[in-house]
Amino acid sequence: MTEVAHTRAEIAAVRKDWWDQRASVAVVMTMGALHAGHTELIRRARDRSDKVVVTNFLNPLQFVPGEDLDKYPRTFAADLELCRAHGVDLMFAPDAAEVYLSGEPEVRVAAGRVGDELEGHSRPGHFDGVLTVVAKMLHLTAPDAAFFGQKDAQQLWIIRQMVIDLDFPVEIIEVPTVRDPDGLALSSRNTYLTDADREAALSLNRALRAGSDAASRGRDAVIAAARDTMSKDAVKVDYVELVSPDDFQPFTGSGEAVLLVAAFVGTTRLIDNVRLVVQAGSVLAEV
């Protein structure tokens, strides 16, 4: 049975019981509107740990002006049922006043150089909001491991770096992107898509495949193939970039890389990525 905690005191009491049991704890952080991608995170966490916490908090700090905070799907009852069906021990669902005790925080975690690029360039301040809430949730849930999806590749890199730089005692575990059978990466924002938008959104996956197919011809060919693919479809390209997984800077040379794409499909902004290994004459890729 999934317990629900709404306050710091409630989650602290549960965690004390778990400490007394010497139970290992994993956390899956969400903004609600749970889907099969979250289910996979929960499954991996369940396999790894004695206890699983799912946070359900729609964090206002990571929405930049003009974004979809007000219309973001709120499906608490369905989220709780999903957690119960998949063996989650605790859902932590605080409100904003419980997370930010003094109102909008004066002190935040800065995402640094990488936080200003790609997603950060398109959404200034977004990653500072992400890191601030992730840091707070790590403190409040005190897990041994935290599970995040590969779909948000830049977010994952920045969270890993925060944990390293600030000495958080937690292991960050990445989980492969979950996709619909046609290749569309699962996202809570997919609920915004009309039928026509849903078809157009497949352009992102096609672009990743095209970029992978071009990898033996070098970095510029990868980016050109991905961008050309999306330019033929009913999407508005935000960015196409190839970066190093080590420092998230533009990729040069040969070796492992991450191809990132972002585009507006109708009014909905979607992101996706693929990891690939560029070698002379060959490429290994998984989409």
Instruction: Check whether residue 105 and residue 216 sit in a common domain.
Output: no
pLDDT, residue 227, reads 97
Single out the residue of 55, 3, 48 nearest to residue 25, CA to CA: 48
Question: Where a domain ends, among 110, 143, 175?
Answer: 175
193: left (phi over 0), alpha (psi -120 to 50) or beta: beta
Instruction: Check whether residue 249 and residue 273 sit in a common domain.
Output: yes
The beta strands (E) that lie in 150-214 are given as 171-175
Report the CATH number that the domain containing residue 128 is assigned in CATH. 3.40.50.620
Task: Give the pLDDT mean for 23-44.
Answer: 98
The answer to whether residue 203 sits within a structural domain is yes
Instruction: Check whether residue 28 and residue 88 sit in a common domain.
Output: yes
Instruction: Check whether residue 171 and residue 192 sit in a common domain.
Output: no
> Coil, strand, or helix at residue 255?
strand
The answer to whether residue 198 sits within a structural domain is yes
The answer to whether residue 287 sits within a structural domain is no
Confidence class for position 234, pLDDT limits 50, 70, 90: confident
pLDDT, residue 281, reads 46
Pairing between strand 268-279 and 255-265? Answer: antiparallel
Instruction: Check whether residue 151 and residue 62 sit in a common domain.
Output: yes
Instruction: Check whether residue 138 and residue 249 sit in a common domain.
Output: no
Mind listing the pLDDT tens digit for each residue in 239-257?
999 999 999 999 988 999 9
The size of the chain, in residues, is 287
DSSP 22: T
Question: Where a domain ends, among 141, 175, 209?
Answer: 175
Instruction: Check whether residue 237 and residue 97 sit in a common domain.
Output: no
The answer to whether residue 18 sits within a structural domain is yes
Instruction: Check whether residue 243 and residue 193 sit in a common domain.
Output: yes
Question: Where a domain ends, among 154, 175, 196?
Answer: 175
Mind listing the pLDDT tens digit for each residue in 35-88?
999 999 999 999 999 999 999 999 999 999 989 899 999 999 999 999 999 999
Instruction: Check whether residue 145 and residue 49 sit in a common domain.
Output: yes
Place of tokens 């693919």: 229
Instruction: Check whether residue 20 and residue 160 sit in a common domain.
Output: yes
The answer to whether residue 286 sits within a structural domain is no
Q: Give the residue numbers spanning the domain of 163.
A: 3-175
Task: Report the distance separating Cα 86 and Cα 83, nearest Å.
Answer: 5
Distances in whole angstroms, Cα of residue 64 to Cα of each of 29, 119, 130, 232, 283: 20, 11, 11, 29, 37
The answer to whether residue 183 sits within a structural domain is no
Q: How many separate domains does the chain show?
A: 2
pTM reported for the whole predicted model: 0.94
41: left (phi over 0), alpha (psi -120 to 50) or beta: alpha
pLDDT, residue 272, reads 98
> Coil, strand, or helix at residue 32?
coil
Token pair listed for 264: 């507006």
Instruction: Check whether residue 20 and residue 142 sit in a common domain.
Output: yes
Confidence class for position 286, pLDDT limits 50, 70, 90: low
Instruction: Check whether residue 30 and residue 142 sit in a common domain.
Output: yes
pLDDT, residue 285, reads 53
Positions annotated as catalytic residues are 38
Report the CATH number that the domain containing residue 198 is assigned in CATH. 3.30.1300.10
Mind listing the pLDDT tens digit for each residue in 178-193?
999 999 999 999 999 9
pLDDT, residue 282, reads 46
The answer to whether residue 182 sits within a structural domain is no
> Does pLDDT of 220 surpass 60?
yes
Q: What angle do CA 207, 174, 191 make, to 5 degrees?
A: 55
The answer to whether residue 71 sits within a structural domain is yes
Token pair listed for 44: 């991996």
Q: Provide the mean pLDDT of the chain.
A: 95
